Amino acid sequence: MTDLIKRALTRRIRHRQRSDRVILIQPDEKLVLLVKFAIGMALCLTGLEIAHLVFLRVWSSEVFAAITGLVGTVTGVLVGHRT
């Protein structure tokens, strides 16, 4: 199975003289691990928010702010690495 995050962060550049050739630039392994960690933490915090709602029946704005920050970070990395 191919690594979806690594594939999403890989840059594809067309060769100038020969348009049929594509150069692939692999991302740094630390960047891939950081994005995987941020996605995992966002999923864990989402589970925590769901548990907070189920057991306490109250919305936690602090946990939601952490989820929003992590999702924004991952989105920024994915969009920023493409340009």
Please tell me the distance from the alpha carbon of residue 63 to that of residue 42, in angstroms, as a whole number: 10
Confidence of residue 2 (pLDDT cuts 50, 70, 90): low
pLDDT in tens, 14-36: 877 766 788 888 998 998 998 89
Instruction: Indicate the pTM of the whole model.
Output: 0.78
The confidence score (pLDDT) of residue 72 equals 92
The amino acid at 41: M
In angstroms, the CA 59 to CA 9 distance is 34
How confident is residue 81, by pLDDT bands cut at 50, 70 and 90? confident
